[in-house]
Structure 1
Amino acid sequence: MKNRYGLKRGPIPRLQSFWDARAACNFIGGGTGTGLIIVAGLYAALGQPVLALPLLGLVAVAFGLFMVFMEIGRPWRSMNVFFNPQTSWMTREGIVALPLFFFGGVAVLLHGTALGNTASVLAGLSAACYLYCQMRMLHACKGILSWCEPALKPYMLVTGVVEGLGVALCVPAVTGDKAAWSALAALLLLRALLWFGYAAALHGNRAPEDSRAEIDRLRWPYMLLGHLLPVLLLCLALLMASGLPAIVAGLLAASSGWYVKLMIITRAAQTRGFAIPRTPVRGRGESRVLSS
């Protein structure tokens, strides 16, 4: 059944139609960008700043925000995002973006100086807060079980760092860093465990069947192409002492995470539906509990 706006009605779970690929791009760009800036902050803290990392990170975050700007339809309404910090994680994300871009910009402009390194570390902390806000945005969508599932929260945090580190391996100054290879391999193992935990939680909490089917469809291809193959390539890079397999591993780790985010937002996003626990009564009478 549809209403006059063409939206489906009724108690049966249905695919949400309010967030599309542009909204998914906000999580893709935001996760990858913050991951890059966090990695940049770590390198700066070690006294080895890499100019490309905060620059690419800011571009990725800006891309995600621009896609949200385009999704709104009436772009000037995007200014309303700053009006509800007491209730909205999207507002908090927008507020955190201000120091993120400020410190990130200072880190780029003053690259190689002590002040630039300090700004890069502060940008990394702001990026961590930004990533946390994105995670809480999905968790706050209580009407969609696959989004508000608690097991998704740690996955979103870890995959953001994995995506950023995966892209970072394509930067020549990072490509040959064996510590970065080891860190990515460890994070991939952690992301795989969190992904299996998320999929199991959806089944345990009886999420809508279509959402579970979409996640199940992704489970093993994601494990093989987004985790096992990158880890094997990283091992190959260590054996060959070559950065090329590490670059491919980073791209696979990042792109597979992007695709899964797109599917979670646009395909595995069925609403809860609703149920009437008691019979309605007209006039006098007594309502009774419906049997499940």
Structure 2
Amino acid sequence: MINEKFARFGTSHQTSWDGRAAANFILGGAGSALLAITVLASWPNTPNWPLLALALSLIGAGLASVWTEIGRPWRAFNVLFHPQTSWMTREAFVAGLIALLVVATIVTGMNLAAGAAALAGLLFLYCQGRILRAAKGIPAWREFSIVRLIISTGLVEGLALLMLADLATGTAYANMPAALLVLVVLRFGAWWIYRSRMLASDAPRSTRATLGLVHRALLGGTVLPALAVALAIAVPAIAAPGTAVAALTALAAGWWFKYLLITRAAQVQGYALGNKLRRGHPLANRA
């Protein structure tokens, strides 16, 4: 491993974003994916409006969390002025589009509006991944594989929330546990790629320790849902509790991962001078 003294990672953690920023990725990612998956599961019928309202509320709560983090909250409107360069601006615009489309779907019942809202939800999730990718000063976020990891994590969360909502209303779909199993495996595969690339780099010990915590959480968030789904299929009498356990463990693992990613795995890059510095005249040690 490269000596941390010359690493592309710094040793100090970013101080701009805290748990409130993490809440935007947690709630907004889950809400946008819930919107998309709800529409897909209901197609060609119009989804139930409470689920649409829940998805929109989660997105709004996430954005409100970021707003409370700003020292001068009214400066938040400045984010609207840079759509050509800022993924935060694009996220805000997509959130507004989602609100309009969700209201249109609830009022008119048009499945075309619902389909457009689902696409906007997926776009919102993509914007969240690109926000992290654009943070060039934080190597743990700028890793290119972070985008598919954020997207796959959000899809797991959205489906898990839909399963829990359906269980609460007694309208569970038989194929949802199998779909959840596929998504958690895809999420763990995306995590494996991301983690392998991070461990192959010059990550400091603090980042490696956090990656270890996340790995155990996502491993549990894959194995436990798989066991719960298998048990629910094998023993129909406990299908509902097994499905609930699968959804809750998958959801909790994703939310814990996002919290750790924002609050504990974001060392700021310092100056990178390289490891070939020599004493004396700059030409003295030329080969």
- State the TM-score, normalizing by the size of structure 2: 0.88
With 258-267 and 35-44 compared, the bigger mean Cα shift is at 35-44
Give the CA RMSD over aligned residues.
2.4
**2:201 aligned partner:** 205
Aligned ranges 1:186-197 → 2 under 5 Å:
186-197=182-193
**1:82 aligned partner:** 80
Q: Which has the higher contact order (CA 8 A, sep 6+)?
A: 2
Deviations 1:211-235 (A, max 9, x none): 12210233124302x1100111112
Aligned mates of 1:60, 1:290 — CA distance in 2? 60
Contact 2:10–2:267 at 8 Å: present in 1 too?
no
Contact 2:35–2:118 at 8 Å: present in 1 too?
yes
User: Residue 209 and residue 37 in structure 1: after superposition, are their counterparts in 2 closer, same or farther (change >3 A)?
Assistant: same
Aligned mates of 1:197, 1:125 — CA distance in 2? 26
Deviations 1:10-69 (A, max 9, x none): x94211111100000000011100110011220342326233321211011001000011
- The answer as to 2:154 corresponding to 1:157 is no
Give the alignment partner of residue 137 of structure 2, picking from 143, 168, 175.
143
- The answer as to 2:35 corresponding to 1:41 is no
Contact 1:169–1:175 at 8 Å: present in 2 too?
no
For 1:205, what is the secondary structure of its paired residue? coil
Give the alignment partner of residue 272 of structure 1, picking from 265, 269, 272.
269
Contact 2:101–2:117 at 8 Å: present in 1 too?
yes
Structure 1 runs (4+) greater than 3 angstroms displaced = 277-280, 285-291
Q: CA shift at 1:93, angstroms?
A: 0.5
Amino acid of the structure 2 residue aligned with 1:165: L
Aligned mates of 2:218, 2:251 — CA distance in 1? 11
Q: CA shift at 1:174, angstroms?
A: 7.5
- The answer as to 2:125 corresponding to 1:128 is no
Aligned mates of 1:105, 1:63 — CA distance in 2? 17
**Paired residues, what number?**
273
5+ residue gaps, structure 2: 1-8
5+ residue gaps, structure 1: 1-10
Aligned ranges 1:1-292 → 2 under 5 Å:
12-47=10-45, 49-110=47-108, 113=109, 115=110, 117-172=111-166, 176-224=172-220, 226-241=221-236, 242-277=239-274, 287=282
Amino acid of the structure 2 residue aligned with 1:244: P
Deviations 1:178-231 (A, max 9, x none): 22111111001111111111111101122333212210233124302x110011
Aligned mates of 1:202, 1:90 — CA distance in 2? 25
Contact 2:214–2:256 at 8 Å: present in 1 too?
no
Contact 1:44–1:118 at 8 Å: present in 2 too?
no
Q: CA shift at 1:275, angstroms?
A: 2.5
Amino acid of the structure 1 residue aligned with 2:263: T
Amino acid of the structure 2 residue aligned with 1:176: A
Contact 1:279–1:288 at 8 Å: present in 2 too?
no
Amino acid of the structure 1 residue aligned with 2:260: M
